[in-house]
Amino acid sequence: MSSILTNNGAMVALQTLKSVNRDMASTQSAISTGKSIASAKDNSAIWAISKVMESDVSGFKAVSDSLALGESTVAVASAGAEQITNVLKDMKEKIVAATGENVDYTKLTADVDEMKEQITSIIKASQFNGANLLDTAGNTGISVLSSIDRAADGSVTAANIDVDSVDFEANLDLSDVDVGTAADAETSIAAIEAHIQTAVDGAAALGASAKRISDQGEFVSKLTDAMKSGIGSLVDADMEETSARLQALQVQQQLATQSLSIANQAPQSILSLFR
């Protein structure tokens, strides 16, 4: 049946053209934004997952900054501890020399005193941004944000790496080192050995902490890259596929437009019935 009031063919062609235009708009959006899922209406579940992962990536950027600051703080303290170890070794040479005969105890004492002052200066200077792990005056260590852990229920907790101060200010009391006489030097040998061991242990502890923080920083960097890659695989548009789809939709759009034009001309044929 033909009707001038209801054009079924035109309605079908119009719906087809609207569908093609919607797909065309979606494809053009993917091309312009580079994302197949740019908003919640595109795919609410995937969009929500990607946003949670993006927030975690932002959090890990802050973690990286914290690890970099912590690594620098520990590196400064570790360098100071190693330098103090070297000074103590030099001091040991002076002490051993003082155990001999016919030596200038006055000059040796002056040298040892200068070394003591040097160690005190190193302890005070081994600070980074106000944090000094060789001297507990003002702090007993640092806590470095190392990770943000998301549980299966969505809750997030922060993880930290705690680095204790080695407190050379208290643990390296060099008042028991004296080279005023050969007898004093003999007694000081055991004392300097203990101080060297304390410095070595402290430097080793700081070195281990520095290695842990460095390794964690490398892991966080790799983890962040992996998360970015995961987000991309969820929401990024496949540009090769999108390009091919755009060309196909352009052809479909032209055909749908032509089909609608033909359907709109159908009522004109009814006029021939009245000639």
Give pLDDT tens digits for 119-175.
Answer: 999 999 999 988 899 987 756 789 999 999 988 888 889 999 999 999 888 888 899
Query: Does any domain span residue 41?
Result: no
- pTM assigned to the model: 0.77
The CATH number that applies at residue 208 is 1.20.1330.10
Residue 79 predicted with pLDDT over 60: yes
272 — pLDDT class (breaks 50, 70, 90): confident
pLDDT at 55: 92
Give pLDDT tens digits for 230-245.
Answer: 999 999 888 888 899 9
| Token output for 214 | 């460095």
For the chain, what's the residue count?
Answer: 275
Looking at the structure, tell me whether residues 218 and 256 fall in a common domain. Answer: no
Looking at the structure, tell me whether residues 268 and 138 fall in a common domain. Answer: no
Selection from 36, 12, 88, 263 nearest residue 96 by Cα: 88
Give pLDDT tens digits for 3-34.
Answer: 777 788 888 889 999 999 998 988 888 888 88
Query: Does any domain span residue 167?
Result: yes
Query: Does any domain span residue 100?
Result: yes
User: What is the number of structural domains in the chain?
Assistant: 2
Query: Does any domain span residue 185?
Result: yes
Residue 258 predicted with pLDDT over 60: yes
Looking at the structure, tell me whether residues 215 and 262 fall in a common domain. Answer: no
**Average pLDDT, rounded, for the chain:** 90
pLDDT at 167: 87
Query: Does any domain span residue 49?
Result: no
* Cα 120 from chain centre: 35
pLDDT at 57: 94
Looking at the structure, tell me whether residues 66 and 197 fall in a common domain. Answer: yes
Query: Which of 70-84, 124-138, 144-158, 179-193 is predicted least confidently?
Result: 124-138
Looking at the structure, tell me whether residues 29 and 119 fall in a common domain. Answer: no
CB atoms under 10 Å from CB of 134, counted, come to 28
Host domain of residue 243: 7-33+237-275
CB atoms under 10 Å from CB of 238, counted, come to 12
